[in-house]
Amino acid sequence: MQITPATSHRLTAGVTQLVRAGRRLGSRVADDLYGDLPSFGWAVLVPLEQDGPQRCSALAARLGVDVSVASRQVSALERAGYLDRRPDPHDGRASLVSLSAAGAAALARTREVRGTWVAAALHDWTDEEARELTARLERLTGALEAARRPVPRPSTPVAG
């Protein structure tokens, strides 16, 4: 069963507002939430924590960015001590990037701060409400990722 156009409009407006709020908050709370991590640090470190050591090209694919972007981010995080790099045992020309002890500690600190921040923001929510929102956001994210194919635009009459 498809959703109605009115629901679709309300949903896309709500998602847009959420993204805008995230951007506004992001710049104000980034130092509190991420500490010394650069803005891209969380996105790079979490996949390494979850999947273990990997080539920069695999990390770029996971992040959905160009290899050159991932390479610059990895280099910055390596210089800051959050990542370790070692030769790939299967291909000496390549290297594997992994989370360092400092990177794992940064993720732990960030999770703690983020958890406290969310708990304060949702202080009047029940745990059930928060779990339900989480499940729906995960479902929405999956659906949006699955629908990344181009959407045909409605044909517009050309004024003549």
Closest CA to 45 of 115, 109, 98, 113: 98
User: Which CATH class for the 29-145 domain?
Assistant: mainly alpha
pLDDT tens-digit map of 63-107 = 999 999 999 999 999 999 999 999 988 888 889 999 999 999 999
Higher pLDDT, 160 or 115: 115
Distance CA 159, CA 69 (A): 42
Residue-wise pLDDT for 1-60, tens only, equals 789 999 999 998 998 998 888 777 766 666 666 667 777 888 999 999 999 999 999 999
**Burial of 154: CB neighbours in 10 Å, binned 0-12, 13-18, 19+:** exposed
Enter the pTM of the model. Answer: 0.73
